[in-house]
Amino acid sequence: MTSFGERLRSRIDSRGPLCVGIDPGTALLHAWGLDDSPAGLEKFARTAVEAAGDLAAAVKPQSAFFERFGSRGVAVLESVVADARAAGALVVMDAKRGDIGSTTAAYAQAYLHPDSPLAADAVTVSPYLGFGSLRPMTDMAFAHGAGLFVLARTSNPEAGEVQLATGPDGGTVAGSIMDRVSDLNRDAGPLGSIGVVLGATLHDLDYPVERLNGPILTPGIGAQGATFADAARLFATARRNVLPSVSRGVLAEGPDLARLRSAVTRLTAEAREHLSG
């Protein structure tokens, strides 16, 4: 069994550092000439996977856009997981789950246990019920070679009121979360399996990100205004571990498959130029 960190290091090195988000919202389905329906969702999702699955290091389906169609949407999400993996891409399930006790354990079974049809290579999780509440997730990840991306400093502007709040020691909540991630990745190689989510739109980051020894999933590039150069500057001491996530910058080229694949190839080259080495 290889760890998620090992698999991600291999994919980034061989395919380049790009994660393609699959976010089939109503407006985007209509822009592709598709109905906002389970049938439209399936056509969209299959095309997106066909465009990126054999090119990008990872794909990141946002589960909410599938869940809104109920069981038929979740069935499409299951096919995204299976088809993307068959094409060689890692799957990061963007679910942002976080709870306590048996509920967290159930989320871990849903998204990280290999017997689940929704089992991904990694899942995004929220630590804001206390980092210790993630224990069932971390245990499941380590047991089955999966990974987590823990929300630390996100790209939405309102996040600072929680993430930059300070504790008795004067440190921020986000800094404490990253310290805990660093502890989980200690001595892992070539890359730890517990990552963080850090927005590329941040203007500064008062944390030595090289200490994380794990992957950095960074949204905010493209439609939100950040660039690959911004990510390279912000995470300079750990840039080889950065996995930039781009959704609209790719999906806006649909539904034409050739244009979608061209966008993935172009953005991968840009990401590699700024973040490799």
Residue in 10, 46, 54, 96 annotated catalytic: 96
Residue segments in the chain with a per-residue pLDDT below the cut of 70: 277
pLDDT for residue 224: 85
Tell me which amino acid residue 4 is: F
d(CA 242, CA 235): 8
Cis peptide before 168 (omega within 30 of 0): no
pTM listed for this prediction: 0.97
- Going from the C-alpha of 272 to that of each of 193, 228, 248, 250, the distances in angstroms are 21, 9, 19, 16
pLDDT for residue 206: 87
Of 43, 31, 83, 91, nearest in space to 63 by CA:
91
List beta partners, residue 21: 60
Q: What is the CA radius of gyration of the chain?
A: 18
What structural domains does the chain harbor? 4-275 (3.20.20.70)
The interaxial angle of helices 38-52 and 257-275, nearest 10 deg, is 50
pLDDT for residue 203: 86
d(CA 129, CA 110): 19
Which residue carries 């998620």 as its tokens? Answer: 4
Cα 107 to chain centroid distance, Å, stands at 17
pLDDT for residue 191: 98
pLDDT for residue 155: 86
For Cα atoms 258, 199, 128, give the angle at the middle one, nearest 5 degrees: 125
- For the stretch 19-70, pLDDT in tens is 999 999 999 999 999 999 999 999 999 999 999 999 999 999 999 999 999 9
Q: State the pairing for strand pair 147-153/19-22.
A: unpaired
CB 53 within 8 A of CB 14: no
CB 190 within 8 A of CB 8: no
pLDDT for residue 157: 86
Told to judge if 96 belongs to the known catalytic residues of this protein, a careful annotator would answer: yes
H helix or E strand, kind and range, residue 44: helix 38-52
Cα dihedral 59, 105, 199, 269, rounded to 10, equals: -20
pLDDT for residue 277: 65
